[in-house]
């Protein structure tokens, strides 16, 4: 067997080395330099020992490779016929002789090993996964001329110059390295997918790039402060561009013509104060969270005093007639008009200060609306009494609150609605929204639970609703100290997202609430169960209420309680 023969050779070599090296010591010579000496020192013997040590190390590497092959293919008698091989997490330091053992490989997985070089990978390989190893810019790929897909994420590469010889390369994943520029692959004309997230790139100029087939470009989490020559004639097939988490203050899409191929643009967490998207006529997804839109431009408050419209930070948004997903979460003021988003399906605007101009045109396609922490109020009569933060239910006296109009006029088909951390004292604006399936109104100012029951009766399709941290529910649940984690699609402030009933996202709070419920006084316990029972009766499809999963057992128990209370009330009436 190959494995046995490899072990026998290596063992013999190791024993030979031990028998000859045991007498060798290190002593300084007359000039002060170290020399290998011993009983009857012989330079030829020293060189021989070094050769034997090298051979032993080589054979140990081969033996480890044979062991790994036997582990992953224990029932394959002919390794030379393998076309796909996965050697991830095998602790390999080299793959020498792999080309002799498996000469027909087309795809190799070497993720999570300790490789510093790729010597021994067969020349037939077209797909190579080598993420999270110790590869550097000195690693050679010259023998892999057929390579089409290469994954070197999480290595120690600081330059792409050694990849220029891969003329057939279509996919390159090199995120999580120390790459400083795209030089070296500028002339890789077959590239379709390029991922360079989490590197050290500071500037990128597409003028020198020959990427006529490139469709996906991910250069997020770099240090990019300047993007030059972003034009369709240079990148005619670019479909997705990810520039999240960089240092951009300006981004231009250069003429002469529209960037018709681009479908997804992500520029979240940069320093953009304005952006013109008029050339992106076919854009479907636009994420621009955490920027500085509106800073340095005329605010809507000063504009109202002057009688002129405020400057728009995102211009020509109304030209994106195919836009489906729009996100501009942040902490500043954002002026949007109804016509800008009337064809959009999903809108994420949490944390922004909105203008009532957003609610001027009906959005019949809208199914997802997120307006958490947007300083929304029920009426102009609402005036916060103290200085503070929206998450505590307080706001400065001089802050501009936005009155939430009746949403059924503008979003009649919305399915998911998030109004957490606002200043709503009543929910009149939500009446007649009959198609809502998920509704969260956490940490507002609703004082009466009867209003919640009346509202849910108008939403027969409701599957999830959450009214925690309102005055009317505050004493019935354990305090909501921490909400769900960050969302990656698109990125968001952690406090904006509330758990949607999934046990994994709310397990800790759920355990604490169970103990809290058991310790409630009898009157509070009955009040909580009756409130939940009334909403359960209104919504037959309800699966989660206030972060707690609705079970058949609870439905039955609440129904019995309501029947008993109803009977008791009838007896008192007689």
Over residues 360-381, the pLDDT tens digits come to 889 999 999 999 999 999 875 5
Query: Under DSSP, is residue 487 helix (H, G, I), strand (E, B) or coil?
Result: coil
Is pLDDT of 152 > 50? yes
Which of the 8 DSSP states describes residue 353? B
- Report if residue 55 sits inside a domain: yes
pLDDT tens, residue by residue, 209-218: 999 999 999 9
Name residues whose C-beta falls within 8 Å of residue 279's C-beta, 6 or more positions apart in sequence.
253, 255, 257, 258, 259
Q: What is the DSSP string of 224-280?
A: --EEE---TTTSTT--EEE--SS--S-----SSS--TT--EEE--SS--S-EE-TT-
- Report if residue 390 sits inside a domain: no
- Report if residue 361 sits inside a domain: no
Residue (of 225, 226, 220) closest to 207 by Cα position = 226
- Report if residue 45 sits inside a domain: yes
pLDDT tens, residue by residue, 496-526: 444 444 445 578 888 898 999 999 999 999 9
- Report if residue 49 sits inside a domain: yes
- The whole-model pTM stands at 0.82
pLDDT tens, residue by residue, 257-314: 778 899 999 999 999 999 999 999 999 999 999 999 877 555 444 444 444 456 688 9
Residue (of 188, 181, 117) closest to 147 by Cα position = 188
Number of domains observed in the structure of the chain? 1
Is pLDDT of 225 > 50? yes
Which of the 8 DSSP states describes residue 357? G
pLDDT tens, residue by residue, 33-73: 344 444 444 555 445 555 655 555 557 778 788 888 888 88
Print burial letters for 529-559: b (CB count within 10 Å at least 16), e (below 16).
bebbbbbbbbbeebbbbbbbebeeebbeebe
- Report if residue 107 sits inside a domain: no
Band of pLDDT at residue 156, cut at 50, 70 and 90: very high
Average pLDDT score over the chain: 82
Output the pLDDT for position 257.
72
State the first-to-last Cα distance of the chain, in angstroms, to the nearest integer: 94
Percent of the residues in the chain that have a pLDDT greater than 70, as a whole number: 78
Output the pLDDT for position 118.
94
Domain that holds residue 34: 2-63
Residue (of 484, 514, 481, 510) closest to 497 by Cα position = 484
Q: Which two tokens stand for residue 561?
A: 């309680």
Query: Under DSSP, is residue 203 helix (H, G, I), strand (E, B) or coil?
Result: strand
- Report if residue 327 sits inside a domain: no
- Report if residue 224 sits inside a domain: no
User: Helices (DSSP H) in 35-182: which residue ranges?
Assistant: 43-72, 98-101
């Amino acid at each position: 067997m190959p494995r046995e023969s490899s072990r026998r050779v290596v063992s013999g070599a190791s024993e030979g080395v031990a028998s000859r090296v045991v007498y060798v010591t290190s002593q300084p010579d007359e000039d002060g330099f170290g020399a290998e000496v011993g009983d009857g020192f012989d330079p030829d013997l020293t060189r021989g020992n070094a050769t034997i040590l090298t051979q032993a190390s080589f054979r140990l590497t081969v033996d480890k490779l044979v062991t790994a092959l036997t582990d992953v293919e224990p029932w394959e008698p002919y390794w030379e016929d393998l076309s796909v091989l996965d050697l991830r997490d095998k602790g390999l330091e080299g793959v020498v002789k792999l080309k002799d053992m498996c000469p027909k490989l087309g795809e190799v997985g070497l993720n999570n090993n300790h490789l510093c070089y790729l010597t021994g990978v067969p020349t037939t390989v077209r797909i190579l996964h080598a993420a999270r190893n110790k590869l550097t810019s000195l690693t050679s790929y010259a023998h892999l001329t057929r390579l089409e897909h290469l994954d070197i994420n999480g290595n120690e590469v600081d330059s792409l110059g050694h990849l220029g010889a891969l003329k057939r390369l279509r996919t390159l994943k090199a995120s999580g390295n120390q790459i400083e520029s795209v030089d070296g692959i500028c002339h890789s004309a077959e590239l379709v997918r390029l991922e360079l997230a989490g590197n050290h790139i500071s500037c990128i100029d597409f003028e020198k790039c020959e990427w006529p087939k490139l469709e996906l470009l991910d250069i997020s989490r770099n240090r990019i402060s300047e993007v030059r020559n972003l034009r369709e004639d240079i990148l005619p097939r670019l479909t997705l561009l990810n520039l999240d988490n960089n240092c951009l203050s300006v981004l231009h899409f250069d003429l002469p013509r529209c960037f018709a191929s681009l479908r997804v643009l992500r520029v979240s967490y940069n320093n953009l104060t304005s952006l013109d998207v008029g050339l992106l006529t076919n854009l479907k997804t636009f994420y621009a969270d955490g920027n500085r839109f509106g800073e340095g431009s005329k605010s809507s408050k000063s504009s109202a005093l002057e009688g002129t419209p405020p400057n728009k930070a995102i211009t020509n948004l109304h030209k994106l007639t195919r836009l489906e997903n729009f996100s501009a979460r942040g902490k500043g003021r954002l002026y949007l008009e109804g016509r800008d988003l009337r064809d959009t399906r999903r809108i994420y605007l949490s944390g922004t200060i909105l203008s009532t101009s957003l609610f001027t045109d009906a959005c019949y396609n809208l199914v997802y609306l997120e307006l958490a922490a947007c300083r929304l109020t029920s009426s102009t009569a609402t005036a916060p009494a103290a200085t503070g933060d929206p998450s505590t239910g307080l706001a400065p006296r001089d802050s501009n609150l936005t009155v939430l109009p009746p949403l059924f006029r503008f979003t009649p088909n919305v399915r998911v609605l998030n109004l957490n951390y606002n200043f709503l004292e009543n929910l009149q604006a939500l009446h007649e929204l009959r198609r809502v399936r998920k509704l969260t109104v956490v940490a507002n100012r609703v004082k009466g639970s009867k209003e919640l029951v009346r509202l849910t009766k108008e939403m027969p399709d409701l599957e999830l609703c959450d009214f925690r941290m309102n005055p009317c529910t505050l004493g019935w649940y354990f305090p909501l100290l921490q909400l769900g984690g960050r969302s990656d699609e698109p990125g968001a402030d952690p406090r904006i997202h509330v758990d949607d009933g999934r046990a994994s996202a709310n397990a800790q709070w759920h355990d604490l609430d169970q103990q809290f419920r058991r310790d409630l006084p009898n009157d509070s316990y009955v009040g909580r169960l009756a409130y939940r029972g009334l909403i359960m009766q209104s919504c037959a499809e309800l699966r989660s209420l206030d972060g707690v999963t609705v079970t058949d057992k609870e439905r039955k128990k609440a129904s019995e309680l309501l029947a008993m209370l109803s009977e008791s009330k009838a007896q008192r009436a007689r």
